[in-house]
Amino acid sequence: MRKRPGHERVLDGLSRVPAWGDGRKGGIGILGGSFNPAHEGHRHIALAAMKRLGLKAVWLMVSPGNPLKSNDGMGAFADRLASARVMAGGHPRIIPTDIEARLGTRYTRHTLPKLLRRFRRVRFVWLMGADNQVQIPRWQGWTEIFGMIPVIVFPRPGWTRPALAGKATRRMQHARLPAHAAGALPRTDPPAWTFLPGREHPASATMIRAALAAARGEGRSVAREAKPPAVREKRRVELAPGRRDRLGERVQLVVDSLEADKAEDVVVIDLAGKADFADRMIVASGLAGRQIQAMAEHVVEKLEKNGAPRVRVEGLGGSDWVLIDGGDIVIHLFRPEARTLYGLEKMWGMALPAEDGARDR
């Protein structure tokens, strides 16, 4: 069969969005960004938008390059697109797409007119977090964007109040709809936008990048970007016998707690003398967000009862990756697909659970 003119090979089969357009109809949300990497906060926004706005789908439009962000620390495009696929979790209406790369655009003001011309029957809505509502006055032609497409803004930890008091909100106040009218947004001519109150999802790409760097033993360089619980600022020395015994006791306490909560593939990694942020790293999997939350809460409770000072948690409340800083021990709790994607064990020379199983066969 002949291919249509302009047909492009779809990267890894991830995109179901043809760059030349088609005749699809209905409301579709566009959640654009670097996805460096994608995380559960993106999925949270997609699901909330479909529910509250009655959208048929949400496109996760992975940017080939963000003009406002440095390339330092920016993952390869294919990796970021793959992380969006993992986060989408096979949901039929959450669609990761490389369409912006195939259109050859980098600025939203250039991408949107092409999408609007090529998908004439779609009622698009632009989805973004409160952090982007604060930053959007730095975007090229940002007022034009509000004039092209309805916009809905979601709360983000630490950004909601600045967003509601920021330049974009003040400038576009005349086009703001009340939150109870959000369902009408796909059928409303722009400029039109609303802020949708709701739970502030704790997941953060910055936190994930910082945690990955800390897991590699790069905590000092990461501390300038963000300080997740796993980033430690003190040098480690050889463990004294008494401290070694206490550490072993706490490791076993954590392992027993995780196994009692039906954690899968619990792995303990010895970091003594290899890293300055912890002496032991424990990695485990949970099959669902609620299970991971319960695992984390029980581990924290047991560590605190055991006398561990300043136990801190990052990502609790719906994330696919929860970090627990227990001082000498750092615990990473993942959903299986996220664990495979980030591969912490590989950073320390250990096989991932899936690889162990493949060898066993």
Give pLDDT tens digits for 72-123: 678 889 989 988 988 888 899 999 999 999 999 989 999 999 999 999 999 9
Is the domain defined by 11-195 classed in CATH 3.40.50.1360? Answer: no
pLDDT value at residue 121: 96
pLDDT value at residue 229: 34
57 falls in which pLDDT band (50, 70, 90)? very high
Residues of each domain in the chain carrying CATH 3.30.460.10: 236-360
Is 185:194 a contact under the CB 8 Å cutoff?
yes
243 falls in which pLDDT band (50, 70, 90)? low
**Nearest to residue 347, comparing CAs of 277, 236, 271?**
271
324 falls in which pLDDT band (50, 70, 90)? confident
Ramachandran bin of 310, using left for φ above 0, alpha for ψ from -120 to 50, beta for the remaining angles: left
3-state class of 345 per DSSP?
helix
Is the domain defined by 236-360 classed in CATH 3.30.460.10? Answer: yes
40-43 CB contacts, 8 Å cutoff, 24+ apart: 40/87, 40/201, 40/203, 40/289, 40/318, 40/319, 40/320, 41/129, 41/156, 41/201, 41/202, 41/203, 41/204, 41/319, 42/84, 42/87, 42/203, 43/87, 43/88, 43/89, 43/91, 43/94
Structure token digits, residue 233 = 């600022």
Question: Does 7 have pLDDT greater than 90?
Answer: no
Residues 6+ apart with CB under 8 A from 284: 258, 263, 264, 265, 266, 267, 295, 331, 332, 333, 334
- According to DSSP, residue 64 is labeled S
Percent of the chain with pLDDT over 70: 76
CA distances from 354 to 153, 226, 265, 361 (A): 38, 31, 10, 11
Percent of the chain with pLDDT over 90: 49
Of residues 10 and 106, the one with the higher pLDDT is 106
CA distances from 29 to 47, 105, 180 (A): 10, 19, 18
pTM of the model: 0.67
Question: Does 309 have pLDDT greater than 70?
Answer: yes
Tokens 């983000």 label which residue?
Answer: 156
Question: Does 56 have pLDDT greater than 50?
Answer: yes
Of residues 345 and 114, the one with the higher pLDDT is 114
pLDDT value at residue 351: 67
Residues of each domain in the chain carrying CATH 3.40.50.620: 11-195
Read off the pLDDT of residues 255-305 as tens digits, 9 standing for 90 and up.
999 999 999 999 998 887 776 677 888 999 999 888 998 999 999 999 999
d(CA 59, CA 125): 10
pLDDT value at residue 120: 96
Question: Does 344 have pLDDT greater than 80?
Answer: no
Of residues 170 and 225, the one with the higher pLDDT is 170
Strands (E), 224-289: 264-270, 280-285
Read off the pLDDT of residues 142-177 as tens digits, 9 standing for 90 and up.
999 999 999 999 998 778 999 999 999 999 999 999
Tokens 């092209």 label which residue?
Answer: 148
pLDDT value at residue 3: 39
pLDDT value at residue 83: 87
**Nearest to residue 329, comparing CAs of 278, 274, 275, 295?**
278
207 falls in which pLDDT band (50, 70, 90)? low
What φ, ψ does residue 96 adopt, rounded to 5°?
-65, 140
Is 203:195 a contact under the CB 8 Å cutoff?
no
